[in-house]
A = this chain, B = another copy of it.
Amino acid sequence: MAKLNYNELRYKTPSLSPLQRKIHDIIFEADTFWGKVFDITLLIFIFLSVTVTALDSVESIHSEYASFFNTCEWVFTVLFTIEYILRLYSVAKPLYYAISFFGIIDLVSILPNYVSLFIPEARFLSIVRILRFFRVFRLFKLVHFTHEVDLLLASLKRSVKRIAIFTFYVFIIVFCIGSIMYIIEGPENGFTSIPVSVYWAVVTLTTVGYGDISPKTPLGQAFSFFIMLLGYGIIAIPTGIVTSEMIVPKKEKITTQSCPYCCKEGHDTDAKFCKYCGKPLND
């Protein structure tokens, strides 16, 4: 309801012609048939374009299909350029869109090809195209598991504060561990500087363990012995935070209304009668 009113208000903005409104509906909304067709088509083109960029970065594939990939890239660039112009055209305040997060991404991901026309050396800019992949997030209106996503995000949002504190503590702990390890092992064992030792501490504490740097001295090994056991306990904390937040909504789902006769609460959502006094519940 609120959204409808908002839409009405927007359509009263005098600067939008019927054509602009039509294009806006197709490009920015996913409620109409053509809006959905547009979004799915765009999704496919983004995936194709990203795949082409990814494969083109492989040396062996690049040397063989370079011209084919180049053609593809130009097709994508022209299409995304048309889309970008239409977006600018169909919006009441083009500048406002142009400087928005997605507006910048849209622009930046079509620029490299045009730049390379004038400055051939700018080929390396092509990697910027990968940013197109971020545009997928705009298309999430399509996704039908909105409720599931909402639940997931809601429980993550509730844990953000606690996870931020946790990360801050981990940051300090990791810095202290790294510094101590720098003193213990020293540059001759691969711990060339404090930043590198801190990097090692994160690699160890998160149980990633590349092994590019690993303790060599007995003291360093004994120390990392305890660091790893500590990491065992620390990894339990974010899991605990997220899990405990995820369990909450299940309970909240159950309790919504109170009985109009005995005022007791705690009824399931599918309950039609009060489970305490047997009187009918309001819907």
A-side residues, CB < 8 A to B, are: 50, 53-55, 57-59, 127, 130, 133-134, 136-137, 143, 145, 148-149, 151-152, 155-156, 161-163, 165-167, 170-172, 175-176, 179, 182-183, 187, 192-196, 198-199, 202-204, 206-212, 214, 218, 221-222, 224-225, 228-229, 231-233, 235-248, 250, 266-268, 270-280
Contact = CB atoms under 8 A, between A and B. Distances in A.
Nearest to A171: B229
Contact of A209 (B50, B208, B240): B208
Given A229-B206, A243-B239, A165 B148 contact: yes
B232 A235 contact: yes
B250 A250 contact: no
How many chain copies? 4
A240 B155 contact: yes
A163 B198 CA distance: 26
A154 B206 CA distance: 23
B209 A127 contact: no
Given A54-B198, A235-B235, A247-B247, A176 B130 contact: yes
Contact of A202 (B187, B228, B272): B228
A245 B250 CA distance: 9
Contacts of A245: 240
A154 B250 CA distance: 16
B244 A250 contact: yes
Given A130-B176, A148-B161, A279-B278, A241 B236 contact: yes
